[in-house]
Amino acid sequence: MRRILLLITFFCASLNFTYAQFSLKADFRARGEYRDGARILLSDSLEPTFVASQRTRLIADYKDDKFQIRIGLQNARIWGNDDERANIPNINLSEGWFKYALLPSLAAKVGRQHLVLDDGRIFGMRNWNDIAVSHDLAVLQYEKNDWNILAGGGYNNDGNDYTASPYNVKYYKYLVFLWVNRTFENGLQVSLLHSTDANEDKTDFTKTNKRNTVGLYSKYSSNSNFGFEGSAYYQYGKHTSGLDQSGYMFSLIPSYQLSEKVKLVAGTNYFSGNNQLDTTSTTNRSFNKLFGDGHRYYGLLDYFLNIEDNTDRTGVQELFAGVFLKTSEKSELEISYHHFATTGALIDTQSPKFKAADAELGSEIDLQYKHKVNSYFTVVLNYATMFATPSMEILKGGDHNRYQQWANLMLIAKPELFRSDKK
């Protein structure tokens, strides 16, 4: 790490700042979590635990008239997880890309990068995960007036191969996508997305199962107090298992600014799922949210962080309502209620008869308090509790009658260490 810092410092000192701009930023996040029913239902025989983790990033940006380069180094760790005496390298590259302006409105961006589109439901940062999500891509971007268009893709290997061989990484073999966004003067924003992620067949590595995702996203904010955000996506082609794919999801979120200090939000998130009683179907009807965010949308307890897997492919519908209270100029309190139910039929494994379980999974209450200490330092405090049903027990194990809860304290610091303004 010391050598890397010396190299960055040397690079900074050697720049001709008359024509270029250089910045060096830090991104530090530490959090402690009390887990007494997070992600899984606990039974009385299981004890809660406390886990501390942190993520440390150093981000260098360079920009001139044509080029833009970013190098982001990252270390993510659970406190106490490393044997320091083992001297095992644990620095990785979260971002490493360059962007070149081919034309005034057209640029190429190549390398390891975060791909965040719209509200992050399909392509997001997954920032709650300390490692987050990065993609190795080549992307063309057209940006002019109110249009923003991205088209790109990437092809993955797990080694420096010279012949075809299996890809032994749990990730897509290749990805291609097209995203078209338009912003209108009346405050309406609309996007169209089409992507194909091809996943290596588990029985024949020379074949890939190509899953296609197509859909629309819209966001509206006017001079009035009303706002709206919504999306709808459909998946077709082949599931990673090799089954035919036919699934969908939609999200509807209206909001209303009741006063300067109070904002109301409500809505639904719907993910299609399979009927487990239908054992003859050759089509997977569960929707996979790909690289979309989960923690900020589907409850802080993360019971549905990966919706397809966490519901055993039976899908989920979430109904929610929340209130945002601005408690001061630097602080905000969010209180939200979430209700979950399956959308497909879940087999009742706790019954001697072969039948579907009740669709109701449970209700969750979330509290989040944010305080911005200054321009780069923020403190976040969370508490959440789940009131589960017997059907949630089928998916998560444990005891639905036991009180389930989770608490979190998180410190976020993002200072700018150095910046040279263009002259």
Digit-coded pLDDT (tens) for 112-170: 999 999 999 999 999 998 989 999 999 999 999 999 999 999 999 999 999 999 999 99
Average pLDDT over residues 21-42: 96
Tell me: pLDDT of 17 over 50.
no
Strand partners, 321: 266, 337
Helix (H, G, I), strand (E, B) or coil at 348: coil
**For 142-158, how does the pLDDT look when each residue is reduced to its tens digit (9 = 90+)?**
999 999 999 999 999 99
Say what the pLDDT of residue 82 is: 75
- Helix H, strand E, coil C: the string for 149-204 is EEEEEEECCCCCCCCCCCCCCCCCCEEEEEEEEEECCCCEEEEEEEEEEEEECCCC
Report yes or no on 172 lying in a domain: yes
- Domain of residue 319 covers 19-420
**For 220-240, how does the pLDDT look when each residue is reduced to its tens digit (9 = 90+)?**
987 789 999 999 999 999 999
Report yes or no on 244 lying in a domain: yes
- Say how many domains are in the chain: 1
Report yes or no on 170 lying in a domain: yes
* Exposure letters 390-413 (e unless 16+ CB within 10 A, then b): bbbbbbbebbbebebbbbbebebe
CB 343 within 8 A of CB 272: yes
Report yes or no on 9 lying in a domain: no
Report yes or no on 216 lying in a domain: yes
Report yes or no on 140 lying in a domain: yes
Strand partners, 143: 148
State what percent of residues in the chain have pLDDT above 90.
86
pTM of the model: 0.92
Report yes or no on 95 lying in a domain: yes
Number of H helices, E strands in the chain: 3, 20
- Domain of 136, CATH number, reads 2.40.160.100
Say what the pLDDT of residue 138 is: 98
Tell me: pLDDT of 357 over 80.
yes
CB 139 within 8 A of CB 151: yes
Cα Dmax for the chain: 77
Residue written as token pair 């191969």: 161
Report yes or no on 32 lying in a domain: yes
What letter would DSSP give residue 420? Answer: E
